[in-house]
Structure 1
Amino acid sequence: MKKITYLLFFVLSFSVYAQPSYIYTFKSADSITRYIEQNKLMFQPEDVYITKDFESFKAYSETKYYQTPRIYIFNSEGDFLETITNVNAERKLSNFKRIKKKPARNESNLDFWTQKLIHYKSENLYKDTHTYTYTFVINWYLLDTEQKPIVLKLWKEWYDVLLRQKAAGEDIQIILLNIDAQDYWELSPTWREYVLENLNRNEIKQ
């Protein structure tokens, strides 16, 4: 009963930011893998995560961080530093000295994100305890609108630059967070319908 009440509250009040022409559907590990391969994204499987359940997705999607294409940067203490967009990405990612050092005020820390994540294939909870100099969270989804070529190019370029930095010795973590609705949540047919109805009713911030 508690879960039903909670989900009903979601249906009545849920507000997300989604691209106007993007049609949300539930995704699976297979559909995510297929999209990565078909679009030659070259994402390393160990970097790809999804939200672990409906409640986690709801909490995350109600924040200003539910946007793409964006990169969110955290320091070694898990403090949020800044958001990277296509305007400043090349300058920031090519030289980490240009990343802000002072934590942003009144922002969620890295734990807010990672406690809600599981690996998209293994379904294991995120449990990386290593302290990285920086953690980069890249939101992405299975985009299939007219903006797809442009956005895919950004995701590819950003990820490639970060991999090169990592290969050069930078102690960084990359989290490719797929922000689609997931089959893994095992919602009932009725609630799947309600979730998609509300997701597709709203518009997305770019």
Structure 2
Amino acid sequence: MIRVLVVDDHALMREGVRAVISTQNDMAIAAEAANGEEAIALYASERPDVVLMDLQMGSMSGVDAIRAIRTTDPRARIIVLTTFTGDGRALKALHAGASGYMLKGSLRHELLDAIRSVHRGGKHLDASVATAIAMHVLDEGLTEREIAVLSLAAWGNSNKRIAARLAISEETVKGHMKLIFAKLGAVDRTHAVTLAARRGLIEL
């Protein structure tokens, strides 16, 4: 029996997952959590075989919860179940220790196969997300400082305000923005923010 921990802040989503899993003879819901903190506690007490983890939840993100669970148990098998298609978010989750990444829209078609595959020690990656990752695999990624600059720009901050917030000069901010445009293939700030948000490189 594959025991599954479902982590999602929407009760209807958890109910949907429960309904799909309940039709299977080799699976059962071990527990349900509404946020990352609950997920960590329930993983420790229930030791499920597979965790289904949402990414965006309240005070603790799914990525942070994945890191915490994997720290306590490096063998934990976690599948991200999300609406986010961007390669940036997928790579963060995979680097944190997720074994799978699938979209909520494919719940009924792929969920059961994904759970069985990951339980056996395999990987599962949504085809559209895999394509997005492949498209940018050779791109030079944004540095942490560039992400900080672009995130502040996304909230309407001027170069002067960004410089003050990050304790750097305006010229340094301008230099970062030029590199950001080049790396993303953007023509201006708005375009850069749009591209970065779509890929999950920054949060809006």
Task: Give the TM-score band, short-chain normalised.
Answer: under 0.3
Name which structure has the greater RCO, CA cutoff 8 Å, separation 6+: 1
Higher Cα Rg, which structure: 2
> What TM-score does the superposition give when structure 2 sets the normalisation length?
0.24
TM-score, normalised by the number of residues in structure 1: 0.24
